[in-house]
Structure 1
Amino acid sequence: YHYQVKNKNYALKIGYAYNWVFRRGWVLGISEAPTFGIRKGYINTPDHTRTTFAMSNRARASIIYNHEKKWFFGIVANADTGLIYDKEHTLITNNLNGEISIGYRFNIW
């Protein structure tokens, strides 16, 4: 099935993040930021614009290891979700991704 969606969002995002050093060199981080507001646009019918409730969320989790102040390794997971809703349609969107980083700190200064 094919959806054609175009809209503008006017919303307020609030969030919270927490980092926890659970062992020397190790950091665990989590965050969440829900968004609530108004969405103005259309679903499938460009000449039928509506104003509806808007809701989305962004969640992240990461774990990082710092080795002897030079090397670092990290894994990050991201989850973005959204809800597009009116009387005729309900569309839930998701975008899940992750990244792995390995790096070396150069002391240039």
Structure 2
Amino acid sequence: MMKTMFKMTMGLGVMALAAQQANAQAQPRNCAPRDVVLKHLTEKYGEARRGIGLVQQGSVMEVFASDETRTWTIVVTLPNGMTCLVASGEAYEALAEALPATSNDA
């Protein structure tokens, strides 16, 4: 179950990063030093890190969310230390879905 959630999170992050990379010719306006971004997510939305993964060119994708405020945020931290907002939203819900059954017909 955790592997499925991680794969889904990574997939969303990679898609979001690809979209961000297409628009990132200049320094994006939605970036700031990592400590500033984390402080904002914690203090304003009560979000904590729920997932992490490596993406292109040494960047780190992270998912932050809050069960209390039900908000979520996906950020990417670049090798230069800048953290950029990729996506955010509401109605966050942690899922505990079972993996689909696999057959051994091989």
Under a length normalisation based on structure 1, what TM-score does the superposition of the two structures give?
0.31
Q: Which has a greater percent of helix?
A: 2
Q: Which has a greater percent of strand?
A: 1
Under a length normalisation based on structure 2, what TM-score does the superposition of the two structures give?
0.31
